Each structure stands twice: as C-alpha cells, then as structure tokens.
Amino acid sequence: MTFGQGKIWYDGKFVDWKDANVHILAHVIHYGSSVFESLRCYKGDKRSAIFRLDAHIDRLYDSAKIYRMDMPFTKEEFTRAVIDTVKINKLQECYIRPFAFRGYGHMGVNPLKNPVNCAIAAWKWGAYLGEEALEKGVSVCVTSWRRPAPNTFPALAKAGGNYLNSQLIAMDAIEAGYEEGIALDYFGHVSEGSGENIFIVRNGVIYTPPTSASILAGITRHSVFVIARELGMRIEQHDIPREALYISDEVFFSGTAAEITPITMIDHIKVGDGAPGEITKKVRDAFYDIVRQKTEDKHGWLAYID
C-alpha cells in the first residue's frame, strides 16, 4: 500500500484510510498534544521484520507518561496492533507510524478531560533524505534556530508539539538550499537534526551529543552504539562545539527515517575530503546487514511478520 491507501488501526479496529478522521476541534489540532513513533519494517530473504519494535513501543509509552496520557491499550496490545497493521496492508517493506493524541471533547489548554485516541498507519516510504543521500551524503547547515532549553519542551518525549521546532529547522535549511539543518542546544553545543541524531568522527573516535543536549534519545542512535562497539570502534557521548563539525573527519546522521546518512558538507565546508568516510560506511553497512537479515540478530532487534 502506498500513502493514502489501505487500512489504519484506529482505537482498536481497522478502518479504511479515508475514514480515519478526527473532529476539527480535537485538542491535538489546537495544542499539539500527541505522542508518536516512527518505525521501519524491512524485507530479508524470506521474511519481513520490524526493527526494534519493543524499544519504539517503550518510548511511545514513556512519551505518554511525560504528558500524563493514560494509554487505553497495554503495550502488548499495541505491539500486536503494529504487526497486524503491516500484515493487513500486505506490506513487506514500510514505514510505520503509531501514535496517541488528545481527542475531542473539551476546549482549553488543560488536556486532561479529553479522551486519548490511538492509531497506527503504515505505508511505503523510501529514503527520507533522497535515494542518493545514503550513498553520496548530504549537504547541511547549522540553523539559527535552537533546540528547546532544558525545562521547556521535554526533548526525550517524542511529542507532536516538539516538531514545530523541527519544522523551523528543516524549513530554514531547505529554503537556503541545504538538505537538512543541524540545531545547537540552549548552551550552544551541537544538538541534532530536525529528525535525526548526529555523530562526528575525529582521529578514529566517534562522538555524539549526550541526552542532556536536548536530543531525542534515538533508537537508531542506540543501535549505532552497539554496532560500533561490536566493530571494535570507540564511541562516546560528549558535548560538541559547533566548530568541531567543520574539523571532523566524518559526520553522519542516524534515524529511523534517515537510517545512516553521511554528511559531506556543513555550512559549505567540506567534511574530511567531502566523501562519505570509512567509519560511517562500516557502521552503515553493518546496520543494513542486521535490518536486512544478512547477519544474525544477536540482540533480538527484529520482530518478524509471520
């Protein structure tokens, strides 16, 4: 199924894509009150499998907890519903969007009187930053928009409202001719892209900003830690000053949508020699070997679609 077709799981039942609607006075539309996840399902030689389903479900429920949303389904029910959504739509490779939102009932900022509705959609979605990006890398800028200061918007929650900040970052970069933007945090350290975590490589060591740098704790980011260590690489969380981006040997993004995307140019300055670096390529290849079932799933990261 492509975007716009098939069935959507909505509050426990499958409905046709065109019937998965909300009232225009639903709380979420006015106040950004939703929490969501992004997952990918990949096809191996024989079967398809969703990458890190359990970790995504855990993060969805963590995001809901931060915003005091009582989820009307158990994690087990939600997990099953994600798999069923892929199955019912006969998708072998897809992007999956489970979410929960404050629905219709009461107007006003206080969300607590509104129902919590849940839905899951899935569709085919290719490379997020373009097919060429994964091979050749992308050109990005450091945007003048900052990520939210601590104690403002909780960055660890993957909440709809946070993505107004991401939209400003992305629009600023794209309008200026770049493929993506990198934002600094409140203190001026490197934070992340509009929808990706960032890693730099210098003298053979991989560094990435800590969770205190107003980042989303990416599940691909965590996978990069595990993969890099298994490949015998050194990887650390560290505050990263902006100028470290310019003098890095390699820089790359990680994310469910962007997967592992090399960054080859930042603010018109070449990263290394301007081509995807060796460490980036090794991590990327090891990542694809896992998701496409070419190597053993040592960590139980794949949820097979039976």
Report the interface residues with ligand PMP, using CB under 6 A: 38, 166, 192, 195-197, 216, 218-221, 254-256
Rounded distance between C-alpha atoms, residue 29 and residue 72, angstroms? 20
First vs last Cα of the chain: how many Å apart?
A: 18
Q: If you ran DSSP here, which 8-state letter would residue 32 be given? A: -
Rounded distance between C-alpha atoms, residue 80 and residue 77, angstroms? 5
**Nearest distance in Å: CB 227, ligand PMP:** 13
Question: Please, are residues 44 and 293 in contact by the beta-carbon 8 Å criterion?
Answer: yes
Residues 213-246, buried b or exposed e (16+ Cβ, 10 A)? bbbbebbbbebbbebbeeeebebeebebeeebbe
CB-based burial of residue 205 (10 Å sphere; 0-12 exposed, 13-18 middle, 19+ buried)? middle
**DSSP output for 221-289:** HHHHHHHHHHTT-EEEE---BHHHHHT-SEEEEEETTTEEEEEEEETTEESTTSS--HHHHHHHHHHHH
3-state per-residue secondary structure call for 156-223: CCCEHHHHHHHHHHHHHHHHCCCCEEEEECCCCEEEEECCCEEEEEECCEEEECCHHHCCCCCHHHHH
If one counts every other C-beta atom within 10 angstroms of the C-beta of residue 291, the result is 23
Rounded distance between C-alpha atoms, residue 141 and residue 139, angstroms? 7
**Nearest distance in Å: CB 110, ligand PMP:** 26
Say how far residue 81 (Cα) sits from the centre of its chain: 20
Catalytic residues: 158
Residue number, 189 or 221, with CB nearest to ligand PMP? 221
